[in-house]
Amino acid sequence: MRKLRPLLACLALSGCHGRQVMLGAAGRDGSMFANLWLVFLIVTLVFYALVLIGLVWAILRRREGGEPATRTGLLVWVGVISVTLAGLSIASWLVDRNMNRAPFTGLTVEITGHQWWWDVRYTSADPSQTLRTSNQLHLPAGMPVRVILKSADVIHSFWIPNISGKQDLIPGRTNDIVITPEKVGLYRSQCAEYCGLEHAHMAFDVTVEPLADFEKWWAQGLLPARAPVTPLQKAGYAYVTTRECSTCHNIAGTPATGQVAPDLTHLASRLSLGAGTYPMNSGHLAAWVADPQSAKPGNKMPVIGLEPDQLNAVVSYLESLK
Amino acid sequence: MSSPCRASLLALVLLAGCDEQARDPRGHPLPETGPLLSAAMNPARPDPRAVDYYKNAFEVSQGQQLFQWMNCSGCHSNGGGGMGPALSDTKWRYGSSMADIVQTIANGRPNGMPSFSGKLTQAEMWQLAAYVRSLSQHVPQSIRSGRTEGLSVGEPSTLRDPHPPRAVTPKQDEASVE
Amino acid sequence: MAQRWPKLVLLVAVGLVVAALVAFLIIRGTGERAAEAARTPYEQPALAKTAAGAGAHPAGQWYIPAGDYASTRFSDLADINTQNVGQLKPAFTFDTGYLKGHEAAPLVVGSTMYLVTPYPNVVYALDLTKPDRPVKWSFNPHPNPKSQGIACCDVVDRGMSYDNGRLFMVTLDGQVIALDANSGAQVWRTPVADISKGETVTMAPLVAAGKVLVGDSGGELGVRGSLKALDEGSGKVVWKAYSTGPDKDVLIGPNFHPYYPSDQGKDLGVKSWPGEAWKQGGGTIWGWISYDPELHMIYYGTSNPGPWDAEDRPGDDKWTAGIFARDIDTGQARWFYQTAPHDLYDHDAINEMILLDMPVNGTMRKVLVQPGRTGFMYVIDRVTGQVLSADPYASMTAYTGVDLKTGRIQHNPAEVPQSGRVTRGICPAAPGGKDWNPSAFSPRTGLLYVPHLNLCMDHVYTGANYISGTPFLGVESKMYAGPGGYRGEMTAWDPVRRKPAWQIRENLPLWSGALATAGDVVFYGTLDGWFKAVDARSGKLLWKYRTESGIVGQPISYRGPDGRQYIAIYSGVGGWVGGLVSGGFDPRDPTAGLGIFNAVPDLAKYTGRGGRLYVFALPR
Amino acid sequence: MTELDPDLARDGPELTGVELDRRLTAAWRRQPGLIGWLSTTDHKEIGKRYIVTAFVFLALAGVLGLVMRAQLARPESGLITADRYNQIFTMHGTTMMFLFAVPVMEAMAIYVIPLMLGTRNMTFARLNAFSYWMYLFGGTMLWVAFVLNTGPDAGWFSYTPLSGPEYAPGKRVDIWAQMITFTEVSGLAAAVVMATTILKQRAPGMTLAKMPIFAWSMLVVALMIIFALPAVALDSGMLLSDRLVGTHFFNPYEGGDALLWQHLFWFFGHPEVYIIFLPATGFISELVATFSRRPVFAYPAVVVSLCATGLLAFGLWVHHMFATGLPRLGFAFYTAASLTVSIPTGVQIFCWIATIWLGRPQFRVPMLWVIGFIVTFVIGGLTGVMLASVPLDLQLHDTYFVVAHFHYVLIGGAVFPLLGAVTYWFPKATGRMMSEALGKLSFAVTFVGFHLTFFPMHITGMMGMPRRVYTYPAGMGWGTLNMISSIGAAILAFGVLLFVINIILSFRAGRVAGANPWEAAGLEWATTSPPPVYNFPHLPAVASRTPLWDEGEGLPVTTGLRVDDRELLSVTIIDAIPSVREPSPKPTIWPLLSAIAIGVTFVWSIFTPWALVFGLVPSAIALTIWFWPKNPDVPPEPEID
């Protein structure tokens, strides 16, 4: 029983708030998972208890009296296991079927995994309403969302534990998963398939918000980047949109049109930096731009070696990209 | 085999192994602010950085990725050329040394090669140069890879002639004569 | 049992004999009918005719590459005919001194022939009156050498135009130059392209109604395509019509009445693109412009959208890969038809449009006919933009047809390229059923002579990165011969009956233009350097001549000062497919040259580089 | 006593005792010196080398595990770089699975099985030696490469395309794939030797129904290896050719498929777990019987369970791939199959507990490991039940929950029984007992350290921590639990260290053990400790499953085998009726030389495909000499009635 206590503590943790926990139950699948897991947990605990009781009893029992009916016991045991497993199978199958029956209402997000960041595209029948962003996901609460998953290089896995289970992004295949976030809040997703050097730093933020807020966010996302205002920002703009940055990154409405790295159009409105490596703030932004290889060694952004005043200007401009 | 002999052999393997297989995400820069390509001016003394790139599998693979990302493949295809000259043959209009190639990438060339100075870091240019050399088997066979994850582009580089044809250094191709 | 055998055998034998007899009669009957049909097809009254008013051209002269505004490339000289063409001999040759693709058509004005070479776009004026045809003058515009590196498919020049004592030429780096035809002196020079953005100019400018019309090249480099009209006298830009972007940039106004609803709406040049993709959206104009003086309208096609990777640009990508009709004075669009909405394969619409008047379903219609890169022969009402018919003339797997109700091309879902998985067997390949090399039309036969391709490809999207002045493609592709194993084909197409009259298979892709003459001879050249003359009615090969290099030029015919009929053609391999030889590329890489070199890895066996004008005439 | 006929060539009533020992020793001993040492075909020597080598790999991989725990003790720790960490976790997994777990089980069997079956050596003794050399070379190559910074870094599962030619530049993954080739050759060789030995070389009278359960488990395992390993051999071969000569097996662009790798890998990979686990259940059955002083309860049920597990193991592999987007309908089948496999395991656990119940348990050190096994393994089994469910697996997959699960299964389910088995058979191999006190201490420390390390991982997994991350951000709530795990890992390592110390001390100064110190029932205890080079003076014959308990000292023997040459007795497969006297090959250096030639070919072929052509020549020469018939004129032995 010693081992049960932490297990129960774990169960208790499900009540705690975590941005990346399985028992967060913030989505349709997440809730079903929590319930099914509880069923499995109780059943397995009962069986574990039975085994331990049997073992302790076998060790401690006094060795007198006749042969107990062990043969019958074996048959009963096999019967009990079989029936229980059949029950668990059916329960699991029912939940699985239920998860797959999520209604689909039309919001489709296309996510492409890259080493080591996420390219996110909100599709629309009207191509000009297509929204492209990176390393973040905004979802309307209560609406099933179809997520189309592709990979540009190796296998990654899409997983927002609070909301739903995993689905792999496999090169040459297009997978999809329907997720239904239910609780408004901030969550975190992390790549769940080993994808190379910086697998540990391949996360993104998930914001579940009311539909109205979501639509507002989408509309804002379609706007081009803010124009620089202060002289410092203008100097940063000049650097970012003409030099190394622009070769890889896109900032809508500017000459920075690179397509091989995360979109920076509304960078400063995101919650984190470097695919969940740093929280977003000016200090981290400066640290990241100055030396992206220090916090996330091996990522594809090179060390440019900016002079201090250039760095100031660049960070000042990037910070203004709300 | 005597034990000192064995030890030295091991050390040799060790050195070779480290060079070719190491992965340094920062590249092998002399200081980024240092003089650009000083060695390119002096062909007698090759740039000390060169060997760190073209004899390193990781750097070549990074160069390969940049070759796609920076649209080099748009002109030079997978070495066969198209808008730009072929890189997989034996003709080198502007020199075949690592420093020459970096110079070409950095400053461009008059017949259409654009300049990437200010668009790429020096380390990236060296990685690209290493990959460009690999297109004509100018890097050790052991660090080339059999294929890319993509459309098959013919004979795998690992099987091409391990003895590369000797490079022809700056000789004006008649096509480039105006 | 044994006794029944002979009976059985007899029965079977008799049955077989009867069956064979019946079959023989049936086949013979069909054969006779077919032969009959082949003998008398063109005696019908309803022939297609050159559009009234657009077919005029000065007798025995050649002012613009297409010969006339209707783009027929028809010469009314008949001295050389099917009987005597076999005696053609070279009259003279001229070496240009450059070894890239010679795609231009020579011009003949009076007693002077004007030639333009590929980059560096040198112009020569040859005096035809003297026996050794000396150079009267030459002009070197000195274009920026950097432009060589951003020209997608060899540094070609497709010709000049002559009007009113002046020659109008373009340079690879995007300058339009007017020259005095007598002296070769520069009259004006206007830059219309920015090579730092990837813009070049390779097309032949068209002079009409006092304007020099010139577009741009660079659909492979994320150029935002546009057509410019320059004042013939001053070189000032009169109007400029973009192929993407808001209506005011595209010169779409109240007179714009596209036939199909999918082309109606405000600012479709922005709304049919994601985000700001239209700014690098391609739609360049590097092909041919036709002009109908009666309707006062010009017709031209726009090129592929950028990038080639269609997954990067969801939407219809207006106004790329389509045909515009515009008012020549104001540039205002009149109608538009998109041959390939959301183009998947680089199937531009820049090919030549031949203006014809012909019966369609019993009534005469003013039409334009375009052998499209999509592989369809489009017959479009040139007044309204309605597609009257679209029939495949080349091997086709990519499309299943064109819906004449909506005008939309129908894709074969199995051949839609994607990222991460190679889609195989796409026909036609990226250069299309036919590339730029123009067809000819003979009003005598009512047939269109289409030199075209039989190529298919494997294609995969890889995602594109936009860096100004570098390629913007995002594909890898590999081309090869289509069904049948041959790579080029000369088709004589009957636009009225909507089917080929005859076809000639060519081993190598056909990259030269065609010429039809009143002597009922059709001329064209092949990549292995053969210049061929065939019977316009039957396709029978009448004569051929081996030139020094592959032919990618446009043949013309003129009457010399000595009164004889001449045929002129450039020989000098190059262009997209011929670039393999002229650029010295490496065909071991199957993706080289955007994948086209894989279709002609043997080209160097047939031809070396060259750059020579050949002029043929009958012996005296 | 009359003079013995010096030409008497067969053992029998006249030829016993010292003279028999002299003659048999002369026939079976190997040459002295280095060459002799390298040439040996004695299963005991090979088995001991195998065991020691496997434990060396265990220690190395364990150290890597400690390094990983040190790195993960704190969030955003900069102790080792991402690149190093990825190499380390790959090496840890690869070494543990391919170089420790499977080989050590084979190794124990190579040592014990012939003794258990009452035979003088294994069939194909030279192949057995060859198997060891290939294993040694493969493991050495991997570790030398790792030291040279060429350690594989694509995970022990090496999913394509991460392990493919584009995303794994250099020779790192080639080393991994070629190491697989080495272990495949070695594993298949050992499996063939094992299966044939068990089927054909049992003591007369030891019918299949009287065979020790450990032999049963090894028979099932050997057959599983023969069916499972070719899948991964094919897989790694295709990977190598993709990388080296540009084939497109795993290139989706050209019609290959990244998932093909996973299917083939897990078709091997899941049975692999049972290949490790089933021998451990065999150990447990032996230990439980000995220390409960009665035969295992419901022998037929246990044997059927073993076979059922072996069969079912091949029907589960897709449960590693629930998140790959395969058709969901089929998943229900794999869930059911995965759950079904816990029935035979449940049966075995019931039987062991029932054996304890019915017996008179003695709590010696091996028995403690058995109890530790049951307490620990059952947790791993039950979390496995959770992982079999598709909806649960889609969350739990690739998190630390899974890390916890399989360490409970593999350490609790295989290493604990192994350590128990080593303690149990140590006196047989060395003639000395292991220290009981130190053994109890090491058990206690290991047990506590293990649970402290791995139990918290269930929770870190539930809290969303993915596997194979070299670091994790602060503020995720994972810090404390990871710190506990790291402390636990140190304790666990200390426990294992105590075990090793116990072995070393006991080897030198342990209490001298007799032939049967545990008073066990198996034939291996019928000979001296350590056994003579020829194992048994006369081959024993048996009539029950517990011969030593039933027959005591009067174990019947079989006679008539040659004493002047190596000869084995073959029996019929089911009833163990003697059928043929078979010569056993003499020691020779050629298995080693063949292994060297083939090993060089393998290593060389990482660099060029031509190696396969050129390397074929020395390999063929070495193998030809090895196989050359030495006595072609000796007629085959007549059948025995």
For D422-431, write each residue's pLDDT tens digit.
Answer: 999 999 999 9
Q: What distance in Å separates residue A241's CA from the closest CA in chain D?
A: 30
A171 CB neighbours in chain D (<8 A) are 161, 252, 258
- Are C483 and C450 in contact by the 8 Å Cβ rule? The answer is no
H or E stretch covering C167 = strand C166-170
**Chain C residue with the nearest C-alpha to that of B174:** C99
**Chain A residue with the nearest C-alpha to that of B29:** A303
Number of cross-chain residue pairs from B and D with Cβ atoms under 8 Å apart: 88
pLDDT tens per residue across span A21-54:
999 889 988 899 999 999 999 999 999 999 999 9
Cβ-Cβ contacts under 8 Å for D188 (sequence gap 6 or more)? D225, D226, D229, D230
Which of B71, B85, B153 lies at the smallest CB-CB distance from C470?
B71
Query: How high is the pLDDT of residue A16?
Result: 46
pLDDT at D635 over 80: no
pLDDT tens per residue across span A246-296:
999 999 999 999 999 999 999 999 999 999 999 999 999 999 999 999 889
Mean pLDDT of D540-559: 87
Task: Name residue A278's beta-bridge partners.
Answer: A273
Mean pLDDT of A91-103: 87
> Which CA distances in Å does C520 have to A298, A303, C38, C75, C503?
70, 69, 17, 10, 16
pLDDT tens per residue across span B98-112:
999 999 999 999 988
Query: How high is the pLDDT of residue B171?
Result: 36
Which of A51, A157, A159 lies at the smallest CB-CB distance from D374?
A51
pLDDT tens per residue across span C212-232:
999 999 999 999 999 999 999
pLDDT tens per residue across span D339-396:
999 999 999 999 999 999 999 999 999 999 999 999 999 999 999 999 999 999 999 9
**Chain A residue with the nearest C-alpha to that of C462:** A152
Say if C468 is an interface residue toward chain B (CB within 8 Å).
no
Which of B25, B32, B149 lies at the smallest CB-CB distance from A171?
B149
Q: From CA D633, how far away is CA C244, in angstroms rounded? A: 92
- Are C205 and C213 in contact by the 8 Å Cβ rule? The answer is yes
DSSP H helices in C512-614: 575-582, 603-606
pLDDT tens per residue across span C107-163:
999 999 999 999 999 999 999 999 999 999 999 999 999 999 899 889 999 999 999
Residue C416 dihedral angles phi and psi, to the nearest 5°: -80, 120
Return the domain boundaries, chain C. Answer: 1-34
Mean pLDDT of B125-132: 94
- Are B24 and B60 in contact by the 8 Å Cβ rule? The answer is no
**pLDDT band, very low/low/confident/very high, at B158 (cuts 50, 70, 90):** confident
Query: How high is the pLDDT of residue A229?
Result: 95
Mean pLDDT of chain D: 92
Mean pLDDT of chain A: 90
H or E stretch covering D256 = none
Structure-token pair, residue C92: 């003279």
Q: What distance in Å separates residue C415's CA from the closest CA in chain A?
A: 16
Mean pLDDT of C531-548: 96
- Mark yes or no for CB contact C460/D252 under 8 Å: no
Query: How high is the pLDDT of residue A5?
Result: 44
B23 CB neighbours in chain D (<8 A) are 83
**Chain B residue with the nearest C-alpha to that of C146:** B112
**Chain C residue with the nearest C-alpha to that of A241:** C467
What pTM does this model have? 0.91
pLDDT at B54 over 90: no
pLDDT at D127 over 70: yes
**pLDDT band, very low/low/confident/very high, at B50 (cuts 50, 70, 90):** confident
- Most C CBs within 10 Å, among D253, D254, D259, to test the C interface: D253
Q: Which chains touch C (3 or more CB pairs under 8 A)?
A: A, B, D
C460 CB neighbours in chain D (<8 A) are 253
**pLDDT band, very low/low/confident/very high, at B167 (cuts 50, 70, 90):** very low
**Chain B residue with the nearest C-alpha to that of C577:** B82
Q: Specify the residue for token string 């006779």.
A: C32
A295 CB neighbours in chain B (<8 A) are none
pLDDT at D38 over 50: yes
pLDDT at B37 over 60: no
pLDDT tens per residue across span D293-303:
999 999 999 99
The CATH T-level fold of domain A231-319 is Immunoglobulin-like (2.60.40)
Tell whether the torsion through CA atoms of C583, C588, C589 and C593 is positive or negative: positive
CATH level 2 (architecture), domain A107-221: Sandwich (2.60)
- Mark yes or no for CB contact A128/C465 under 8 Å: no
Tell whether the torsion through CA atoms of D336, D338, D342 and D343 is positive or negative: positive
B6 CB neighbours in chain D (<8 A) are none
pLDDT tens per residue across span A76-86:
999 999 999 99
**Would you call A287 helix, strand, or coil by DSSP?**
helix
- Return the amino acid letter for D467: R
Terminal CA-CA length for chain A: 54
Q: What distance in Å separates residue B92's CA from the closest CA in chain A?
A: 27
Q: What distance in Å separates residue C614's CA from the closest CA in chain B?
A: 23
A107-221 shares its CATH topology with A231-319: yes
A173 CB neighbours in chain C (<8 A) are 420
Tell whether the torsion through CA atoms of B8, B13, B19 and B22 is positive or negative: negative
With a pLDDT cut of 70, the percent of chain C lying above it is: 93
Query: How high is the pLDDT of residue D641?
Result: 46
Burial class (CB in 10 A: 0-12, 13-18, 19+), D260: middle
Q: What distance in Å separates residue D494's CA from the closest CA in chain B?
A: 32
pLDDT tens per residue across span C406-433:
999 999 999 999 998 999 999 999 999 9
Say if C194 is an interface residue toward chain B (CB within 8 Å).
no
D160 CB neighbours in chain C (<8 A) are none
Q: What distance in Å separates residue A315's CA from the closest CA in chain D?
A: 23
**Would you call A148 helix, strand, or coil by DSSP?**
strand
Task: Determine the angle formed by the axes of helices D213-245 and D172-200, rounding to 10 degrees.
Answer: 150
CATH code: domain B57-146+164-173 is: 1.10.760.10
pLDDT at D5 over 60: yes
Q: From CA C453, how far away is CA C451, in angstroms rounded? A: 7
pLDDT tens per residue across span C272-323:
999 999 999 999 999 999 999 999 999 999 999 999 999 999 999 999 999 9
**pLDDT band, very low/low/confident/very high, at B13 (cuts 50, 70, 90):** low
Which of B78, B114, B173 lies at the smallest CB-CB distance from C591?
B78
- Active-site residue list of C: 220, 304, 346
Return the domain boundaries, chain A. Answer: 23-100, 107-221, 231-319
pLDDT at B10 over 90: no
Closest C-alpha among D195, D151, D196, D191 to residue D174: D151
D250 CB neighbours in chain C (<8 A) are none
Instruction: Give the lowest-confidence range in A19-33, C8-22, D228-242, D537-551.
Output: C8-22
**pLDDT band, very low/low/confident/very high, at C18 (cuts 50, 70, 90):** confident
pLDDT tens per residue across span D303-348:
999 999 999 999 999 999 999 988 887 888 899 999 999 999 999 9
DSSP letters spanning A195-232: -STTGGG-EEEEEEE-HHHHHHHHHHHHSPPPPP-SHH
Structure-token pair, residue B167: 């490079």
- Most B CBs within 10 Å, among C100, C426, C588, to test the B interface: C588
pLDDT at A4 over 70: no
- Are C282 and C219 in contact by the 8 Å Cβ rule? The answer is yes
